[in-house]
């Protein structure tokens, strides 16, 4: 079943790409009608060295309004065709470029077979297209036969951009997107470096793919090339299992899929298809665009391209965007950056906008709608380690955990499941949490943790750790261990998220005695790690996406030293928390609401009366509210709240408690009656509302900001001086500890509740109004909240609490107001309300004698002995009078109090068929 699910997932991964025009890997839908300025034609190119005849390429030429103009070749992704990049072409032609798109060999309506960007085939085809452009009068020339031209494309098309720039110096600028550096390392990755080498030694040797076969993604790509040619393309010939591939590719894939290792012939083929083979001669200014959600071609491939090209003195800029093969396609801002790059380096226009040479996206974990990631963009002045820039800053985090045995099961089954090709982005931020549940199987992984972080850490790059692997005497083991390294963020409540949804496979030869030591470069990701959370590094023995070891073995796995976490400081200049279109609409609505509110306030604002510090904090007189449908929620409600009180507002559902609170906060206007706070009238927009702290309608926090940032933003919106916020006191009351620095989107319900109460307490208002403050809190937190409210009132302030927890009200509040059916049915101190029926209990030294004395008093009834206690219904007689009678009769009284609880009094007042 697990293998069936994986096959289905791989097929879905192919389908997922059909929506991404820049790097499609599935058969595209029919093209939209070409614009009036576009022409379609077929261009013949040589079949290849030693091959007879020609191959026809299906092309479309887009012309701008003004020519001659620089040209841009736009190449499509694997499995796509020229129709896949039609929208990209239209954006560039709107900027004034001549644009040429085409379907590569074996795709769309073009002839030929797929050669994986072979220099003798696909790259040679692109050179013929440059020749063709040089003959067009609409194209600006740098010289005879030399068009002014740039090249861009995604994935398969991105590699073509790099390779073409390396083979043909006529290319003047390139912008490859989510592509590879070394295809051998992409499909056979190995993230280990022997630890006796220098720290700055590259983590892999190019063109020698002795890594672990990435069979999941390889299967997706191979299946995308197995289908028949479309719309006039060449009919596949040769082995039926090869589809549209050249036979040498088919043979190489079959061997790799069978053995898990590449043949020498496949290794050489992958070398020729790798930009790494030509980066040392790329001179065209290069903009590298790579996705942060990409388990196929990770950020490390863009990093290698950048360093190798910059070593030539070639200008290089880098963009990491919130997408990739497992996520969204490049957003409008990223596509605009590509257009600006060509404007500058082809059209000679002045640079536009922020001119940082490196920018990366930091996702908030929140999504606009169901698919659009949100967050911010960080700009750095230079890409670390190139053009004289400082290298990456690494923060050292100590890893805790002793060496642990890990089992590699026979056949490598069952295997952990970390990611499904192409589907990570569809699940959004949940993908990492789902992977955390499926990527660790019992007994198959060794795990090591950091201590909780003292402050937020922005991980940007590939963490590194020193790994040790040794044999366990008496346990089976082969010559090498195949392990899969992963990094998780672990929240304070134990929730794990697999960062990037990615793994780093490592093949480690293990000696007969002593440990093998290697430095492992873990997956490159961008992730903000919240304060208080931990990083967890795991090394497991299986992964569904790779061809791991099938021999049974048990290894001892440990780590030495620290986890090195890369960071790249910069400035956040492009927040995209709310998409522009909806933001404009929201802005218009808010502007209209503001105007209406101002007019309403000017016409109906309560008379400005200065609050009187000596007046009662709250007086409600004859309050009533009847809605337009005739329903009366509240009628003739009156009560007064004095300083130092903690008053509980009680009542069953529908009693009118929330309506009273909403009128108190000026959210709705009463039909009759009046409310004054500190002697000033309360109503919508009343100035005295600034002296009332409230938590009524539920907390409304920005989930991508920390707790501290939310409180500061709320206080700034009040327009009052920052030093009046008493933020530290509020944070102490909240009791969130270091979690106050985490994103609110990661908070539990109880944490949000405490933060909301802290927000209500900002400025230490003299009147605090809380609606169900203990919702979501556990018993210890409720106990702590009880003390907080009492201390708050003990300082001379006043607290009004609406709650349905009668036992908590009894222990917390000094006074209560009980409502039922919109009216007040009881008010007074908690003790008075409880004793309202006259039931009392006396603890005495002579219970039987006490019972006789109480029974002889006028009006006293229902006298009962209960151990050392005597209970009686006094029926209006003061308890003090009963105590005098007992003492006078020679009975010592140790204690006296009401017999009932608040719940008994409440049920007597409102009936037992209602719930608070």
Last residue of a domain, one of 353, 386, 417: 353
Average pLDDT of the chain, as a whole number: 80
Q: Cβ(446)–Cβ(536) under 8 Å?
A: no
Q: Cβ(275)–Cβ(180) under 8 Å?
A: yes
pLDDT score recorded for residue 87 = 92
Least confident residue range of 63-77, 127-141, 691-705: 691-705
467-526 tens-digit pLDDT: 999 999 999 888 899 999 999 999 887 888 889 888 999 999 999 988 999 999 999 999
Q: Residue 23: CB partners within 8 Å, gap ≥ 6?
A: 17, 76, 77, 78, 80, 154, 155, 156, 157, 158, 177, 178, 325, 329
pLDDT score recorded for residue 396 = 93
Residue 205 lies inside a defined structural domain of this protein: no
Q: Are residues 547 and 674 in the same domain?
A: no
729-743 tens-digit pLDDT: 777 766 777 778 888
Q: Residue 152: CB partners within 8 Å, gap ≥ 6?
A: 72, 73, 74, 75, 88, 158, 161, 174, 175, 176, 177, 338, 342
What CATH number is given to the structural domain containing 452?
2.60.120.260
Q: Are residues 28 and 77 in the same domain?
A: yes
What CATH number is given to the structural domain containing 326?
3.40.50.1820
290-327 tens-digit pLDDT: 999 899 999 999 999 999 999 999 999 999 998 899 88
Q: Are residues 683 and 792 in the same domain?
A: yes
pLDDT score recorded for residue 369 = 39
Among residues of the chain, what percentage have pLDDT more than 70?
Answer: 80
Q: Are residues 823 and 866 in the same domain?
A: no
Q: Are residues 868 and 818 in the same domain?
A: no
Instruction: Work out how many domains the chain is built from and give that number.
Output: 4
Last residue of a domain, one of 810, 830, 850: 830
What CATH number is given to the structural domain containing 812?
3.40.50.300
Q: Cβ(758)–Cβ(734) under 8 Å?
A: yes
Q: Are residues 117 and 172 in the same domain?
A: yes
Q: Are residues 414 and 533 in the same domain?
A: yes
Last residue of a domain, one of 774, 800, 830: 830
237-263 tens-digit pLDDT: 545 467 788 989 888 888 888 888 888
Residue 220 lies inside a defined structural domain of this protein: no
Distance set, CA 179 to CA 117, 294, 471 (Å):
12, 10, 38
**Token couple for 202:** 């590259």
Q: Are residues 677 and 824 in the same domain?
A: yes
Residue 549 lies inside a defined structural domain of this protein: yes
Least confident residue range of 323-332, 343-352, 874-883, 888-897: 874-883
Residue 223 lies inside a defined structural domain of this protein: no
Residue 589 lies inside a defined structural domain of this protein: no
pLDDT at 812 over 70: yes
Q: Are residues 772 and 694 in the same domain?
A: yes
Give the model's confidence band at 36: pLDDT under 50 very low, under 70 low, under 90 confident, else very high: low
Q: Cβ(331)–Cβ(322) under 8 Å?
A: yes
Residue 498 lies inside a defined structural domain of this protein: yes
Q: Compute how many other C-beta atoms are within 10 angstroms of the C-beta atom of residue 282.
A: 26
Q: Compute how many other C-beta atoms are within 10 angstroms of the C-beta atom of residue 102.
A: 26
Q: Are residues 813 and 845 in the same domain?
A: no
- The residue ranking higher by pLDDT, 666 or 851, is 851
548-607 tens-digit pLDDT: 888 999 999 999 989 999 998 877 654 433 333 333 343 434 444 444 434 444 444 444
Residue ranges of E strands in 282-392: 286-291, 316-321, 358-368, 372-380
Q: Are residues 846 and 754 in the same domain?
A: no
Residue 219 lies inside a defined structural domain of this protein: no
Residue 197 lies inside a defined structural domain of this protein: no
Among the listed residues 240, 226, 561, the one whose alpha carbon sits nearest the alpha carbon of residue 399: 561
410-422 tens-digit pLDDT: 888 888 888 777 6
Q: Are residues 301 and 176 in the same domain?
A: yes
What CATH number is given to the structural domain containing 894?
3.30.70.100
pLDDT at 724 over 90: no
Q: What is the dihedral of CA 759, 763, 764, 767, to 10 degrees?
A: -80
pLDDT score recorded for residue 666 = 81
User: Is 585 buried (19+), middle (13-18) or exposed (0-12) by CB count in 10 A?
Assistant: exposed
514-561 tens-digit pLDDT: 899 999 999 999 988 888 899 999 999 999 889 888 899 999 999 998
pLDDT score recorded for residue 881 = 85
By residue range, what is the domain housing residue 877? Answer: 838-910
Q: Cβ(623)–Cβ(683) under 8 Å?
A: no
Determine the Cα–Cα distance for residues 561 and 674; give it in Å rounded to an integer.
69
Residue 441 has φ and ψ, to the nearest 5°, of -100, 150
DSSP per position, 719-785: T--GGGS-HHHHHHHHT-GGGGGSBGGG--HHHHHHHHHHHHTTT--SEEEEESTTTT--HHHHHHH
Residue 233 has φ and ψ, to the nearest 5°, of -70, 170
DSSP per position, 412-453: G-S------TTTHHHHTTHHHHHHHHHS--TTSEEEEEPPPP
């Amino acid at each position: 079943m697990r293998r069936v699910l994986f096959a289905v997932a791989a097929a879905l991964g192919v389908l997922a790409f059909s929506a991404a025009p820049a790097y499609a890997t599935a058969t595209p839908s029919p093209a939209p009608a070409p614009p009036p300025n576009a022409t379609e034609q077929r261009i013949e190119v040589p079949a290849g060295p030693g091959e007879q005849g020609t191959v026809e390429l299906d092309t479309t030429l887009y012309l701008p309004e003004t020519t001659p103009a620089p040209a841009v070749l736009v190449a499509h992704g694997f499995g796509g065709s020229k129709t896949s990049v039609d929208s990209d072409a239209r954006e560039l032609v709107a900027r004034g470029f001549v644009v040429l798109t085409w379907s590569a060999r074996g795709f769309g309506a073009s002839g030929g077979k797929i050669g994986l960007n072979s220099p003798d085939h696909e790259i040679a085809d692109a050179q013929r297209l440059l020749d063709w452009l040089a003959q067009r009068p609409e194209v600006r020339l740098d010289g005879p036969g030399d068009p002014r031209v740039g090249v861009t494309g995604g994935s398969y098309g991105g590699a073509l951009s790099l390779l073409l720039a390396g083979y043909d110096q006529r290319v003047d600028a390139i912008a490859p997107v989510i592509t590879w550096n070394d295809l051998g390392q992409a499909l056979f990755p190995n993230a280990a470096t022997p630890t006796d080498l220098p720290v700055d030694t590259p983590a892999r040797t190019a063109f020698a793919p002795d890594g672990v076969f990435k069979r999941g993604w390889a299967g997706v790509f191979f299946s995308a090339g197995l289908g028949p040619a479309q719309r006039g393309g060449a009919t596949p010939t040769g082995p039926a299992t090869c589809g549209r591939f050249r036979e040498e590719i088919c043979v190489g894939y079959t061997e790799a899929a069978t053995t898990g290792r590449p043949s020498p012939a496949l290794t050489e083929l992958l070398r020729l298809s790798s930009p790494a083979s030509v980066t040392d001669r790329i001179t065209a200014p290069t903009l590298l665009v790579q996705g942060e959600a990409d388990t196929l071609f990770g950020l490390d491939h863009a990093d290698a391209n950048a360093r190798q090209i910059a070593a030539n003195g070639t200008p290089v800029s880098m963009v990491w965007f919130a997408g990739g093969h497992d996520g969204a396609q490049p957003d409008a801002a990223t596509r605009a950056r590509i257009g600006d790059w060509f404007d500058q380096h082809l059209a000679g226009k002045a640079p536009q906008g922020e001119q940082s040479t490196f920018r990366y996206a930091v996702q908030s974990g929140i999504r606009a709608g169901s698919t659009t990631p949100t967050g911010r963009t960080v700009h750095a002045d230079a890409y670390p380690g190139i053009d004289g820039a400082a290298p990456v800053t690494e923060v050292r985090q100590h890893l805790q955990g002793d060496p642990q045995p890990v089992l590699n099961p026979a056949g490598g089954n069952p295997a952990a499941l970390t990611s499904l090709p192409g589907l990570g982005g569809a699940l959004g931020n949940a993908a990492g949490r789902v992977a955390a549940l499926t990527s660790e199987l019992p007994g198959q992984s060794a795990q090591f943790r950091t201590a909780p972080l003292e402050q937020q850490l922005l991980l940007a790059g590939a963490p590194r750790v020193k790994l040790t692997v040794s044999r366990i005497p008496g346990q089976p083991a082969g010559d090498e261990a195949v392990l899969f390294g992963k990094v998780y963020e672990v929240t304070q409540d134990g929730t794990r998220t697999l960062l990037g949804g990615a793994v780093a496979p490592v093949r480690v030869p293990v000696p007969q005695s002593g440990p093998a030591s290697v430095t492992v470069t873990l997956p490159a990701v961008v992730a903000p790690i919240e304060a208080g959370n931990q990083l967890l590094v795991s090394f497991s023995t299986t992964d569904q996406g790779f061809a791991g070891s099938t021999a049974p073995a048990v290894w001892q796995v440990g780590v030495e030293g620290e986890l090195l976490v890369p960071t790249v400081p910069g400035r956040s200049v492009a927040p995209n928390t709310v998409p522009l279109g909806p933001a404009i609409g929201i802005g218009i609505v808010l502007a209209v609401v503001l105007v209406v509110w101002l007019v309403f306030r000017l016409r109906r604002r309560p008379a400005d009366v200065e609050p009187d510090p000596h007046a009662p904090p709250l007086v409600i007189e004859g309050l009533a509210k009847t809605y337009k449908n005739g329903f009366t929620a509240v009628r003739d409600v009156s009560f007064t709240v004095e300083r130092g009180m903690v008053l509980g507002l009680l009542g069953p559902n529908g009693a009118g408690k929330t309506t009273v609170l909403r009128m108190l906060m000026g959210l709705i206007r009463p039909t009759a009656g009046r409310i004054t706070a500190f002697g000033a009238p309360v109503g919508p927009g009343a100035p005295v509302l600034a002296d009332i702290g409230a938590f009524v309608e539920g907390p409304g926090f920005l989930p991508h900001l920390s707790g501290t940032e939310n409180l500061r933003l709320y206080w700034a919106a009040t327009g009052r001086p920052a030093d009046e916020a008493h933020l530290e006191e509020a944070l102490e009351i909240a009791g969130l500890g270091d979690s106050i620095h985490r994103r609110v989107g990661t908070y539990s319900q109880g944490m949000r509740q405490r933060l909301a109460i802290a927000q209500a307490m900002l400025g230490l208002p003299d009147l605090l109004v809380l609606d169900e403050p203990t919702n979501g809190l556990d018993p210890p937190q409720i106990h702590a909240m009880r003390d907080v409210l009492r201390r708050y009132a003990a300082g001379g302030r006043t607290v009004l609490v609406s709650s349905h927890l009668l036992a908590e009200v009894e222990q917390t509040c000094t006074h209560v107001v009980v409502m039922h059916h919109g009216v007040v049915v009881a008010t007074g101190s908690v003790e008075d309300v409880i004793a309202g029926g006259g039931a009392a209990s006396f603890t005495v030294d002579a219970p039987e004698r006490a019972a006789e004395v109480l029974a002889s008093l006028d009006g006293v009834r229902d006298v009962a002995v209960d151990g050392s206690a005597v209970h009686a219904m006094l029926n209006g007689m003061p308890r003090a009078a009963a105590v005098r009678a007992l003492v006078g009769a020679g009975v010592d009284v140790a204690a006296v109090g009401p017999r009932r609880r608040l719940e008994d009094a409440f049920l007597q007042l409102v009936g037992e068929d209602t719930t608070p």
